[in-house]
């Protein structure tokens, strides 16, 4: 198959590279010329484990190309994926579909022969209908099928997720499109990756329902964590105790500073807005959004409480800035809100992240960025672990103790056994660890 991937961001690039690896011919298109130039030189603009190598081998094999020329790529392709951003619209929280509709207009003018246009971006129910309307209005001669195929990959584990998905959801009832999409995903289907066909609107809603459910699960355990702190129970054990139940499952039950990232915050909000417009409100998700919003600043208050009620003029060291490990993505990262709240209370913040500091320099002001955990901890009143990168899992507490102004460790990801940290003379504050025992 000849595939044009419109948008070479986190989703478009990973999908394009993986499709090429399946043996398809792929052109990744982006309208940011510097991005395409860098990609052609073999430089991957995002941090995603394994992507660099996989992109290089498929480029060498001649199956993967990069271009700014959308028209040529679309005219050449059998299948065109739209993988552009759908951020929250400023002001009202609806999904901003400007980029999707602009891409649809461009695609309409360029298609040549029967083409399947697939929306991979996360889009509200009805967007496929509008993409189809735009294409038919712009080019009444166009022979296209418009399909929904939401993406479920996770940043940091994107290649594995794309190649070994739990399911592939395809929203179309058009037999020609079903045949093409089956061919596109045939290599995965052979690997038992279940291909699930449904109507386009259902497919669009599946993506939002999945993300909303996961966001709700995280928020649930976060509230249970707070209750554990009040009642002297341990949320880690509560999570394990309920997770053994297959109806509940043990995934997404890690208490922490609240969900962030490029998807959950905007997708939950967009679902709330869609549901309101449809006069069928989703109150569980409305509440999830509200609880999660409050939680990030509450984590700053946890740090302040650990520091005896004030952080004014105190140095606070923050470990981890990205919204999760193994990515450089800072979109809606809890660290940003926590640092802002600490600064609002007069703290001097120092921070370190293995991949996120370049991006963070654009987003944060007044933060001192250090070269490693020990550099930022020197002279600090508290060390706060916000993102659980592997390299923060074996800190040398003896070394930290020797350089910090006071030995306070706030572990917002519950990475460490609290007794181990205390043994080194630290005060330990975790999330939902109301019991003293590990």
Q: Would residue 28 show up in a list of annotated catalytic residues for this protein? A: no
* Rounded Cα gap, residues 424 and 103, in angstroms: 57
Q: How far is CA 191 from the centre of its chain?
A: 26
Token couple for 169: 């959801």
Q: Does 236 bind ligand NAD (CB under 6 A)?
A: no
Q: Does 83 bind ligand NAD (CB under 6 A)?
A: yes
Closest by CA to 355, choosing from 385, 388, 332, 322, is 322
Cβ partners under 8 Å of residue 390, min gap 6: 325
Closest by CA to 338, choosing from 428, 415, 410, is 410
Q: Does 103 bind ligand NAD (CB under 6 A)?
A: yes
* Rounded Cα gap, residues 353 and 370, in angstroms: 9
Token couple for 293: 């919003």
Q: Does 6 bind ligand NAD (CB under 6 A)?
A: yes
* Rounded Cα gap, residues 291 and 225, in angstroms: 13
Q: Does 153 bind ligand NAD (CB under 6 A)?
A: yes
Measured at the CA of 416, the angle between CA 413 and CA 421, to 5 degrees, comes to 130
Token couple for 139: 């080019």
429 φ, ψ to 5°?
-125, 120
* Stretch of 77-85, 270-278, 291-299, 318-326 contacting ligand NAD, by CB under 6 A: 77-85
Q: Using CB under 6 A, which of 21, 48, 132, 151 touches ligand NAD?
A: 151
Q: Using CB under 6 A, which of 28, 73, 80, 84 touches ligand NAD?
A: 84
Q: How far is the CB of 159 from ligand NAD (least distance, A)?
A: 12
Q: Does 74 bind ligand NAD (CB under 6 A)?
A: no
Burial label, 267 (beta-carbon count in 10 A; 0-12, 13-18, 19+)? buried
Site residue total, ligand NAD (CB under 6 A):
27
* Stretch of 73-81, 95-103, 182-190, 367-375 contacting ligand NAD, by CB under 6 A: 95-103
* Identified catalytic residue from 18, 28, 263, 307: 263
Cβ partners under 8 Å of residue 101, min gap 6: 130, 131, 134
Q: Does 26 bind ligand NAD (CB under 6 A)?
A: no
Q: Using CB under 6 A, which of 122, 288, 326, 343 touches ligand NAD?
A: 122
Cβ partners under 8 Å of residue 207, min gap 6: 122, 150, 151, 152, 169, 267
Q: Does 102 bind ligand NAD (CB under 6 A)?
A: yes
* Rounded Cα gap, residues 364 and 90, in angstroms: 20
Tally of residues, the chain: 438
Nearer to ligand NAD, 5 or 408 (CB): 5
* Stretch of 57-65, 150-158, 283-291, 367-375 contacting ligand NAD, by CB under 6 A: 150-158
Token couple for 349: 């913040």
* Stretch of 28-36, 225-233, 342-350, 356-364 contacting ligand NAD, by CB under 6 A: 28-36
Q: Does 155 bind ligand NAD (CB under 6 A)?
A: yes
* Stretch of 56-64, 72-80, 97-105, 335-343 contacting ligand NAD, by CB under 6 A: 97-105
Nearer to ligand NAD, 234 or 329 (CB): 329
Q: Does 121 bind ligand NAD (CB under 6 A)?
A: yes
Binding site for ligand NAD (CB under 6 A): 6-12, 29-32, 35, 70, 83-86, 99, 102-103, 121-122, 151, 153, 155, 262-263
- Active-site residue set: 263
């Amino acid at each position: 198959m000849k595939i044009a991937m419109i948008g070479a961001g986190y989703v478009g690039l990973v999908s394009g590279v993986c499709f090429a690896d399946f043996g398809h011919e792929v052109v990744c298109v982006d309208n940011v010329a510097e991005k395409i130039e860098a990609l052609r030189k073999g430089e991957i603009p995002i941090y995603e484990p394994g992507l660099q190598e996989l992109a290089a081998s498929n480029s060498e094999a001649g199956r993967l190309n990069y271009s700014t020329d959308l028209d040529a790529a679309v005219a050449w392709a059998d299948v065109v994926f739209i993988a552009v951003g759908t951020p929250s619209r400023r002001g009202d929280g609806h999904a901003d579909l400007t980029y999707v509709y602009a891409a649809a207009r461009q695609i309409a003018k360029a298609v040549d022969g029967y083409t399947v246009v697939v929306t991979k971006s996360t889009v509200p129910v009805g967007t496929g209908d509008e993409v189809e309307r735009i294409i038919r209005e712009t080019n009444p001669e166009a022979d296209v099928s418009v399909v929904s195929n939401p993406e479920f990959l996770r940043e940091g584990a994107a290649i594995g997720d794309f190649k070994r998905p739990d399911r592939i959801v395809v929203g179309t009832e058009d037999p020609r499109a079903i045949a093409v999409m089956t061919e596109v995903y045939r290599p995965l289907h052979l690997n038992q990756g279940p291909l699930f066909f449904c109507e386009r609107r259902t497919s669009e809603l599946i993506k939002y329902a999945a993300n909303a459910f996961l966001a709700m699960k995280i928020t649930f355990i976060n509230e249970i964590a707070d209750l554990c702190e009040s009642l002297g129970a341990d949320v880690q054990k509560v999570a394990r105790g309920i997770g053994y139940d297959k109806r509940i499952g043990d995934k997404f039950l890690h208490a922490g500073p609240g969900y962030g990232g490029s998807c959950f915050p905007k997708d939950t909000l967009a679902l709330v807005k869609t549901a309101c417009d449809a006069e069928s409100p989703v109150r569980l998700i409305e509440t999830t959004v509200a609880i999660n919003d409050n939680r990030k600043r509450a984590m700053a208050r946890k740090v302040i409480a650990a520091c005896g009620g004030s952080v004014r003029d105190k140095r606070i060291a923050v470990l981890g800035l990205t919204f999760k490990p193994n990515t450089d993505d800072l979109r809606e990262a809890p660290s940003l809100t926590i640092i802002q709240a600490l600064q609002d209370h007069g703290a001097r913040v120092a921070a370190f992240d293995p991949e996120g500091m370049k991006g963070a320099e654009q987003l944060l002001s007044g933060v001192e960025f250090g070269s490693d955990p020990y550099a930022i901890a020197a002279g600090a009143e508290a060390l706060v672990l916000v993102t659980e990168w592997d390299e923060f899992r074996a800190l040398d507490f003896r070394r930290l103790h020797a350089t910090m102004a006071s030995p306070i460790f706030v572990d917002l990801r519950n990475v460490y056994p609290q007794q181990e940290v205390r043994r080194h003379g630290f005060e330990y504050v975790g999330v939902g660890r109301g019991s003293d025992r590990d």
